Chain A
Amino acid sequence: MAFTRREFLRGIGLAAGGVAIPSVAYDRLIPYLNQPEDIVPGVSTWFATSCRECPAGCGMVVRNRESRVVKCEGNPLHPFSRGKLCPRGQAAPQGLYDPDRIRQPLRRSELGKLEPVSWDSALSELGDMLARKPRVAVMTDLQTGTLDALMRAWLAALGSDRLITYEPISYEHVKDTNGGLIPTYEIAKSDFLISFACDFLETWVSPIEYAIEFAKMREIRDGKRAGFVYVGPRVSMTAANADVRLMVSPDVIEQIATAFLEGTLERDARKYGIDPDSAKAATDGFAAAKRPLALPGLAANTCCGTAIFNARRDTGLVNRSRRHALSYVSSAADVDSFTRDTESGVIGALVIHNANPVYAMPQSERFTEALKRVPVVISLSSHLDETTAMAGWVLPSNTPLESWGDYAPYPDVVNLMQPAMGTLFDTRQAGDTLLALARAAGVNTKQSFKADTFVEYLRTRWSLAGEPWQELLQRGGKFAGAPAGLTATPITGYNTLGDPPVDRRAASLPGSTADPHFHTAAPSIYSLRLWAFPDSYLYDGRGANKWWLQETPEPVVKGVWGSWAEIHPSTAAKLGVSTNDCVKIENGGASVSVPVYVWNGVKPGTIAIPMGEGHTDYGQFARGVGVNIWPLLTEDVPLVNVTPGGGTQWVARIRGSTDQSHRAIVQTASLGENWSREKPIIMPLPSGYGKRDFYPGNKYKKHRWAMVVDLDRCIGCHACVTACYAENNLGMVGAEGVFRRREMSWIRIDRYVFDSAGHGYDIPERRGDAGSSLGRLLFQPMLCQQCDAAPCEPVCPVFAASHSEEGLNMQVYNRCVGTRYCSNNCPYKVRRFNWWDYKWPEPLNWQLNPDVTVRCRGVMEKCTFCVQRIRQAEITALREQREVMDGEITPACVQTCPTGVFTFGDLMDKNSRVSSIIETDPRAYQVLAELNTKPAVIYLKKVI
């Protein structure tokens, strides 16, 4: 029995070899050897700039940690965005750190591939070409002020004047019905708003501005509030917030407008396919309204209807003197003549700046072919999109977060842009590239432009502002009383040898009642009206390579990472398809295959598909995801041929039931009734404990953090969701992860649906009758409730889930062994598990917030009320020898919410806003209060 010593050692050695555990490689933290001045490690620097993720032009401040951009937030000094940003703005760092960004100049070789080239050789070669004076043209996205002026001056210096401002969504019809401009609609002053398929809370013109104004409009005064009616074929996020929805086919929207004005809406309700109760509610609301206002959508009929309405009931709320910069986008006619010029070989050199017509243009094949006939195509874009992929030369520009410049969304608002960090790659300011090209072509830039660099040019123009440069930079621009020289130059029209601009009044628009080709008959079975809507986050497709935007779910269908086609159950029955079956959609020589999503939030006879997916280039997160429907758009709302077949493909979406099943999770209060609390709030404080409780409560010395979520204000925009991703280093799960129900969002917007009788039901709706329409759709932000008697805490075997001294339910990542008992025991299911080691392809990992741990696989995580921000505020207060002030701490979601849904504060402070709301507001309740979890997130009932 005795082992010899040799045998023993041999045995031990084998055993040790057998249990070799792989060690985790740790990267090292090295402090600065030569610390740059003004950088204190651990202290953030904030730069004010402008958001350029869409034409809205909200003000932005960018947080820079150790010379890296980590977070974008709204500029609180900005007049209309007031410190808020939508999901697109929050995702701006992902454009800066796009792993598929162009990192150096490229030149197409003889073999046809784009090869790297140095700036000097590219500029000298191009300079030689430009010196030969070809007909030069510039195609750019919407730019105002300095860059726009520079482009015009540049063209003039090279003997041309061909500038096309190309925005795929050009608000053409809004302009046509408003005298060639996009006015400001002062909705906050209205008492009855009708949206004619205008998704103003999502993607239309200036979403943050309109969301803030909408929240103001909808405040309840003396038991009354302004009414909101949505008229359109699809229940968009905006439509979900309406009091009354009139689901109609887009063809009849103009007639609806007239019917409103003439009071015939109720009588003709059946003709339009509206249910009579909705028609009556809408009519009554309108009759009582003193300051009604209509908003135009993108489609022609909607703009005609709006124009008719606002003209007949002119309440002065359409402010034409405050036009939006989108008014200066080139019209479709101008783009058309430009395409013709390109086809006929008139254009000798084309410079493209951030425009992607090869992807996002209706029937883009024509333009693509035309582009091939231009000898010199130079792209100044930062990303290798479809158009840039066709260029002969790519001189990449800095992304907006690295750029100087300005942008004026309105005459009275001029945002000043500055780089928030150094240039990442071998790229340059677009303005500097143009100046360098001019110099290489033999132009004396000092003479022609009064500047050699773009910054000089910018500062010269901004000397008109009459304020010190530093103040302007710190504020983020000139707001109110901006000098005309800084704003957009109202030169409309593309100069095609003197052709007069086409008169595009309402009467001659396709789809208007005066048009003899207007279709009034209901579409036949396989011929449906295509309702193409800009994706809530990808907009016209520009956001497709930002995975935050692909992963944030679309608010009503909760679609992610792909395309889908929404159809009504009756349409689906006729086609013989159900959700996830593919259909082929054809129009104008193009066809796409896309899976359907069957629900009754879309009008029968209509097929609704989001724009923005289906890129063939652009990057790893965009390529091959979804389908591109731009080629199908021969007109705004075309009739397309839909054929079932093509297999099945799961519509990537967050699943879960929308049927509340009488569980009182989303609670409502009726307008005009006396509100009272059915159940008292069980305070997450020692006072909330009593005979029901086995253990005594947690004692708090200084703070007990809590949050109030006002369901009445939530519009479902998901800005909070994207902000949380940006702040807390959440991993990407992709479509596969969403399929397996492994989404990582710490805060999510749940939606619940109720029919007209108030019964919940689950969409996709399986009932097939043509009359069935979506009832009420309510949004509810759900995040960790930071319960005082948290059910997740007692069940964790290793104390990874435990309670902090300030009331937070902590998740200690380093202690978690990954049993997942806490997630099982959480009734709100807000805990998220790291199923894999999630990766951030370089340089996306530069964005990671250094204040928040990145979790490895096997670890549970959840909302922490942005504890890093809480601690930061406490440390600052300690250093300044004062108390933390109420409202000083804003978690990421609270910070960015445009409508003010969230209020965050200290329950131990009797004077804090959260304390007073919880004490006094009769709408306050807790979700699943009966479980006695004592949540510290108090909800305020939605008012219906």
Chain B
Amino acid sequence: MANVELKRIDEEVLQSLGRPSPRYAAVMALCALLMAAGLTAYMFQYYLGMGVTGLSVPVGWATYITNFVWWIGIAHAGTLISAILFLFRAKWRNRINRAAEAMTIFAIMTAGLFPLVHLGRVWVFFWILPYPNWRHTWPNFKSPLVWDVIAVTTYLTVSTLFFYLGLLPDIAAARDRTEPGVRKRLYTFAALGWTGKYDEWRHYARTYLALAALVTPLVISVHSVVSWDFAMALVKGWHTTIFAPYFVAGAIHSGLATVIILLIPLRKALRLERVFTLYYFEQMALLMILTGSIIAYSYGVEAFMSWYSADVFERQFSAFRAFHSPYTPWFWFMVVGNCVVPLTFFWKNARTNWAWLLIASIIVDAAMWFERLVIIAGSLIHDYLPSEWGWYVPRLPEVLMTCFALGFFTFAFLTFVKLFPSAALSEMKHDALEREEERI
């Protein structure tokens, strides 16, 4: 663990908030372009109808819901690192939790777009929300989609509070270290008058712990609820109880991979190499072995239960998905990408190799995306009545909206890393202080 001295921490991290490079501007411009393309595509969809997509009956859900589940899944790793590892006192999360938590917030925001984008009549979307109205109508609380709304908004709210709280002392540090100007005014506003008094730290620590405890169960529950969108339906390929742990493990798996993908270029671009050292990536890689194994177990259970059920629909569907489906190549890509590729991290050489960490994480993320598509669209194409078997191919609006999501997320994340410290300053200082005390 390369350590930065206590008094150098602020300097080391806050220099990343300096003037953006031309490269940064180029990336932001690309993101803006992707967002513009996506918005244009969406306008067509809004005015003309869902017919612009590749959807049909039987495939009512495909790319948009895939994106929704994928982005929500990514968000979970951030909370795992921030909250769960905090409760477990895993020290290695102290440095990366800020960036991970930022990823969570923006991923939830990105994910939240897709339930709106996939609606046929988005202009009345608010009917899904429980609000008192003169017609005395409530949404249908039996529907997993309403559970989704509750779960995701809870998750966003609590995560944001947790994130902001953790960020407070760091904003204060930035405020104290910035020249007067617009930035300093922003930091002053955002720091809410933090002075670093003992009482403030006491409240901070207690609230942080309480919020960590509050958001921890959300890591399990939110993605379980999202998985119940499928498990509560009777579609073969969806209707299986393993989905809750399967999806949660998958979420953390893809989220860890995304953290790696984000931080490897970031540490170079923001010159934070001494802050985000190889040790943290190794830890995440090791965690990915665990999540990858849970996923492998889930795939196995799903296949076994499908056979064990002796249900003709289940058995035929499993055989179809694994061997005869147009999605079969993607199915095997997902199995290999999610289960086999992370196993390479058993070897120290593999998990300490920057290039392999990045490549493997990209493969895992892609495999997770295809896993969602194979589950969602790949099951709908082969439902109960053979006369209604169909197929699905994404069309341009869906591709552009996926690009929009990537662009939006990257735009938001990059905005964050240039505005606020992306390493957890106060926690780094806390660790450095502990080390000095140990020496004494």
Contact = CB atoms under 8 A, between A and B. Distances in A.
Nearest to B58: A829
B57 A831 contact: yes
Given A817-B127, A821-B145, A824-B61, A661 B386 contact: yes
Most B Cβ at <10 Å: residue of A662, A665, A821, A824:
A824
Interface in B98-125: 118-125
A829 B121 contact: no
A563 B142 CA distance: 47
B58 A741 contact: yes
Interface in B128-167: 128, 137, 139-140, 142-146, 149
Contacts of B61: 820-821, 824
B50 A741 contact: no
Given A825-B234, A835-B49, A857-B48, 5 more contacts: A656-B387, A740-B56, A741-B56, A750-B385, A791-B233
Interface string B369-389: 000000000001001111111
B193 to A, nearest CB: 11
Given A662-B312, A663-B312, A835-B49, A823 B57 contact: yes
A638 interface: no
A658 B384 CA distance: 13
Interface stretch (A91-99, A240-248, A310-318, A793-801): A793-801
Interface in B44-71: 47-51, 54-61
A684 B399 CA distance: 44
Nearest to A663: B312
Given A657-B389, A817-B124, A858-B120, A795 B384 contact: no
A262 B16 CA distance: 100
6 contacts: A657-B386, A662-B312, A791-B233, A825-B234, A825-B235, A837-B48
Nearest to A818: B120
A729 to B, nearest CB: 17
Contacts of B120: 816-820, 833-834, 857-860
B385 A742 contact: no
Given A750-B387, A817-B127, A825-B233, A832 B57 contact: yes
Given A663-B313, A824-B233, A819 B145 contact: yes
Given A791-B234, A815-B127, A831-B57, A658 B143 contact: no
B58 to A, nearest CB: 5
Chain B at the A interface: mostly helix, strand, loop or mixed? loop
Going nearest first, the 8 A-B pairs with the smallest beta carbon separation are A818-B120, A858-B120, A820-B60, A835-B51, A857-B49, A741-B56, A858-B121, A657-B386
B48 A836 contact: yes
B3 interface: no
B60 A663 contact: no
A287 interface: no
A752 interface: yes
B125 A858 contact: no
Interface of A: 1, 21-22, 655-663, 665, 737, 740-742, 748, 750-752, 762, 782, 791, 794-799, 815-821, 823-825, 827-829, 831-837, 856-860, 928, 931
Contact of A782 (B137, B233, B387): B387
A732 B375 CA distance: 31
Contacts of B232: 794-795
B245 interface: no
A748 B58 CA distance: 14
A21 B123 contact: yes
Contacts of A798: 127-128, 137, 139-140
B125 to A, nearest CB: 6
Nearest to B230: A824
A829 B56 contact: no
A818 B119 contact: yes
Interface of B: 47-51, 54-61, 118-125, 127-128, 137, 139-140, 142-146, 149, 189, 229, 232-235, 312-313, 316, 380, 383-391
A838 B137 CA distance: 29
Contacts of B55: 820, 835
B89 to A, nearest CB: 38
B121 A818 contact: yes
Contact of A859 (B121, B125, B384): B121
A661 B316 contact: yes
Contacts of B48: 836-837, 857
Contact of A658 (B123, B142, B386): B386
A550 B48 CA distance: 24
Contact of B234 (A797, A823, A827): A827
Contacts of B57: 741-742, 823, 829, 831-833
Contact of B121 (A659, A795, A816): A816
Contact of A821 (B54, B60, B312, B316): B60
A782 B387 CA distance: 10
Contacts of A791: 233-234
Contacts of A663: 312-313, 384-386
A839 B125 CA distance: 25
A931 B314 CA distance: 13
Nearest to A833: B57
A823 B120 CA distance: 13
A740 B54 contact: yes
Nearest to A739: B56
A829 B121 CA distance: 21
B56 A656 contact: no
Nearest to A22: B47
A762 B382 CA distance: 14
A795 B122 CA distance: 18
Contacts of A815: 127, 137
Contacts of B388: 656, 828-829
B180 to A, nearest CB: 16
B66 to A, nearest CB: 14
A874 B214 CA distance: 56
A833 B60 contact: yes
A548 B386 CA distance: 25
Contacts of A737: 51
Contact of B128 (A742, A817, A835, A858): A817
A923 B250 CA distance: 48
Contact of B58 (A752, A782, A823, A928): A823
